[in-house]
Amino acid sequence: MNENKRKHSYDIWKSILGEHSVIAAGNIIEQYQSNITEYHSRHIPIILRPTSSEQLLDIVKVANQYRTPLYPISTGKNWGLGSRLPVISECTIVDLSQLNSIIAVNERFRYAIIEPGVTQKQLSDHLRAIGSSLILNVTGSGEDTSVIGNVLERGVGALDHRIRDLLGMEVILGNGNIVRTGYWHFYNESNDNSHVAYYPYGIGPDLNGLFTQSNLGIVTKIIIRLVKYQSRTGAYFFFPEKHLASVIDTLHSLREEQVIVGSHIVTEVKDPRTVETVTVDFSQPTPLWFSSMMMSRCNAMRSVAMKEVENQLCKFTTQLHFFDTTDPDQIFKNDYVRIMAQMMHGIPTNYSLETMAKMTRHSLTKLNIDLDPQMPGFVCALLAIPFAGEQIVEIISQVRTISRMVDIDSYFNFVAIGDTAMEGFFRVFFDRSDEGQIAKAHRWNEQVYQKLETIGIYPYRVNIEHMHHFVERRQDTFWQLVRDIKGTLDPNDIIAPGRYAPL
């Protein structure tokens, strides 16, 4: 962009947003380019920080007039996948963190209407402050992460896969039109909106899914399902790796029978998040694994569920523990379990980030995740994996082979994201000051994607570096259709070009 055009663009944005909401200073732009994964920076000409949906609509109109590509972010904490970086260079960043209103909370139909800048902690604190009987299905990613940002990426909460919490959306399309999904479009601001989400599908096509993992518009509000607060019974146990396939299959069976519910976890004990909390003594050799789960929510069924869990899992472990999430004497003995119990009650946590910071012998409060080079580098592969023990063992074997070849340590975490699928959260950490380690981590990530694709395993969330590998498939009629829809809703391709859609 030449200097005259840049100046003209800056003046237009300033007239819409005001001088303090338009950033062209190099040092601040550099902060947006910095990322914990150490991806090469894209050129970012300018950063916009709207404070209202009206301003955002004006931004889209001007962007269409001048063919300016926009890259919206909620709070930009997409760690391990690119943070705040766009997929391609020359995108104007639209930082939506100032749009942070909690518009409504409905107790009867259990939902909240929120904007993109609302964080997990903000919504959780608000629900407690108003004395609500409802809680948020939180993730373990951090207190200050955006609720909308994670929902749109189909993240995983402590109580369920978050895509199931999405009840409605308000979206500014790339062509400047505004659409609301479900029954929401029948209501205007003067209507009583208390009924907008009791049946999220509405009449006609269900459009909610169209705007998740997509670049067809900018989501300005969502209606998100909340969960009734109640005491919950959980269980956790340690087991040797030789039982991993059997444990996975048993958890699948217990879930199918609705004995256990929610997002049960299976993770390596050597994971930095669990290693400091483990005090187990096994006669079997390491490696050890850890699993946790939640019983059926019905009080009358809990004792029956506990007996069934014990009957089916006791053959794999001698250390099966049950706990009531409201009893601190039971759960404080293990930090990881304490944090999970906290999340089961809708309270977000920085625990995962704190354990990463401890790897550098620093406290999280002294480190900025993306900006401070002392924070460990972090690369992850997030995959959708069949909920089947034999296949999971095979996938672990494949990834470990790659890790040995690359000479880097990898960590494994599996979380149920449905009755037939688990999230495979594979990751490596590295020294951000060491170019050799950075190269190893990036090579590991690429080889994991390539190898697992040969056996039919694909990511369910994609980082910005490998987005093109999965979406630039012109002969695939799926991506052809996505491109056709993009051409209708965003004819000038101004919204996040290349993100979950072919260029």
Which of 195-209, 253-267, 274-288, 350-364 has the lowest average pLDDT? 274-288
Does position 11 have pLDDT exceeding 70, yes or no?
yes
Q: Name the token pair of 27.
A: 């040092």
Percent of the chain beyond pLDDT 70? Answer: 91
Confidence class of residue 285 from pLDDT cuts 50, 70 and 90? low
- Whole-model pTM: value is 0.94
SS (H, E, C) 375-405: CCEEEEEEEEEECCHHHHHHHHHHHHHHHHH
- CB burial readout 62-83, b (16+ within 10 A) else e: bbbeeebbbbbbbbbbbbbbbb
Q: Which has more pLDDT, 283 or 406?
A: 406
The residue-averaged pLDDT of 407-428 equals 95
Q: Please state, in angstroms and rounded to a whole number, the distance separating the CA atoms of residues 79 and 67.
A: 29
Secondary structure (DSSP) of 32-45: HH--TT-PPPPP--
The residue-averaged pLDDT of 329-352 equals 81
Q: What is the per-residue pLDDT for 104?
A: 94
DSSP secondary-structure letter at 209? G
Q: Are strands 166-173 and 260-268 parallel, antiparallel or unpaired?
A: unpaired
Q: What is the per-residue pLDDT for 41?
A: 86
Q: Please state, in angstroms and rounded to a whole number, the distance separating the CA atoms of residues 132 and 102.
A: 14
Q: Please state, in angstroms and rounded to a whole number, the distance separating the CA atoms of residues 231 and 229.
A: 7
Q: How many CB atoms lie within 10 A of CB 491?
A: 11
Q: Which has more pLDDT, 384 or 287?
A: 384
pLDDT digits (tens, 9 = 90+) for 145-184: 999 999 999 999 999 999 999 999 999 999 999 999 999 9
